[in-house]
Every structure is written in C-alpha cells, then in structure tokens.
Amino acid sequence: MKSKISHNVQYAIENVKLARPRKRAAKGDGLLLKREILDAAAELLTQTGSEEGVSIRAVAEKVGVSTPAIYIHFRDKESMIMAVCMEVFNELDRRLEVASSGVDDPVEVLRKQGIAYVRFALERPEHYRIVFMRRSATPLSEVYDIDPVSTNVFQRLLATVHQCQDMGIFPPGDGIQIVLALWSVAHGLASLLITKPYLPWPDIEEFADLIFKMARLGMSAFSEP
C-alpha cells in the first residue's frame, strides 16, 4: 500500500531518532522514562484518536527510545494502557470536583457533575472509551489493588446521594444502588453519544439536562407516597 513511501518516511524518522537520542536516565531515575511513556501514550491516544494508534513502537519512538525499553517499565501493553486509564480516571474525578465546587444544593451538585461527566467523555472520547468500554483482562481495581467503591469518584457521588437521602429527596436505603443507577444513566448517555453520534441527538447540553432531570424525578418518586 505504501511500500516505497513508508520506507522513506521510516528512514527519515530513524534519522531524526539517531540525531536526537534520548539521554539515558541516571541510576535511580528509571521512573523518569515511565512518566515520559505515560505522557506520550496519552498524547498519542488523543492524536490518533484510537487505541490501535497507540502501539508500543509508536510510543517508544515518540519518547526517543527503543521498543523493548517500554517493557522495562510495563509488564505488557495492557499494563501501559491501564496506567493511562488510571490517570484519565483521576482527571475525571478532578473535573467532577471542580464542576460542583461551591455548590450547596446536593441535587444541583449531581446535575453539574452529570453534565461535567458527559462533557469530559465527549472531549476525550478515546480516553473515555478505554476506561469504560474496553474489555480489560483484569479490572483496574485489581491491578491497582483498589476497591472500586473506595474510588474518589464513587465516594464523592455516594456522599452527595446520602445528602439527598437525608433531605428526603431520594428514598432511604442502600445509597450504593442509587449511585449505580445514576452512574448508569450518565454512562449510558455519554457512551451512546460517543459510539452512535449519527443518531438524531438534540442539543447535547439540553438533552443531558433533560435526562438527568428525568433520573432525579424518577428517583425522588420512590420516596413519595
């Protein structure tokens, strides 16, 4: 398909690589490369717009290092991608925090966080995809030895839900179930928007507002006689 051309390109790239080799890290500084790898992988993900674009070779080249060097810091590609996921997940958490900072009404907090959630997903669709739509061999929670419920995102949501319950807005009982329900709604909208953008969606922000209002009203309906 691109035999001759790609050969030339490859040659050029190798020249660049040889011209600017990355300096080897000092003895205790192996983690420096790890950081560079994670950044390169994340950037490559947004650039190419798909996980397939993030090949070990592409990452290595971007960092200016040989391919197997990646394996010094990550067991395999899966681990590398997982590490990127973890960082994306943390960024999502920060976004949710910012979105609802200074807001008192817990219902309004949920609404703002819901919209921030969808917005984040649409801004970084491929990042969102690898976190929430991938078939990961081992769940993040296992790799990083974390109980998913003790995640910041989950705990933040749970606390807000508890507030709503205390105010009688949400029905009493297991708050976790309510969190899962709300999360399902937000995730459903976000992921369907990403994978099926050609469906006849209305204005996204308005529609998100409508759906979250529906969820809130529906949930509240349980606590009324």
Partner DNA sequence: ACTGTTAAGTTATCACCGTCAACTTATGAT
Partner DNA sequence: ATCATAAGTTGACGGTGATAACTTAACAGT
Q: The tokens 């990127």 sit on which residue? A: 84
Q: Using the rule CB under 7 A, is 76 a contact of DNA?
A: yes
Taking the C-alpha atoms of residue 125 and residue 195, their distance in angstroms, rounded to an integer, is 9
Q: From residue 63 to residue 102, what is the string marking binding to its own copies with x (rule CB under 8 A)?
A: ----------------------------------------
Q: Are 85 and 130 in contact (CB under 8 A)?
A: yes
Q: Which of 141, 155, 159, 167 binds its own copies (CB under 8 A)?
A: 141
Tokens of 20: 């600017």
The verdict on 2 binding DNA (CB under 7 A) reads yes
Considering only the stretches 4-12, 36-44, 159-167, 193-201, report the one whose residues sit in contact with its own copies under the rule CB under 8 A.
193-201
**C-alpha to C-alpha distance for 92 and 100, rounded to whole angstroms:** 13
- Structure tokens that stand for 107 in this block: 């219902």
Contact residues for 112 (Cβ-Cβ < 8 A; gap 6+): 99, 100, 103
Q: Hey, what are 85's tokens?
A: 């996921």
Q: Say which entry of DNA, its own copies, none residue 159 contacts (CB below 5 to 8 A, set by partner kind).
A: none
DSSP state of 150: G
Residue 159 within binding range of its own copies, rule CB under 8 A: no
> Which of 11, 15, 16, 24 lies at the binding interface for DNA (CB under 7 A)?
24
The answer to whether residue 1 forms part of the interface with its own copies (CB under 8 A) is no
List the single partner that 48 binds among its own copies, DNA, none, CB under 5 to 8 Å by kind: none
CB 85 within 8 A of CB 151: no
**Interface residue list for its own copies (CB under 8 A):** 49-50, 126, 129, 132-136, 139, 141-142, 148-149, 174, 176-177, 180-181, 183-189, 191-192, 195-196, 198-202, 207, 210-211, 213-219, 221-222
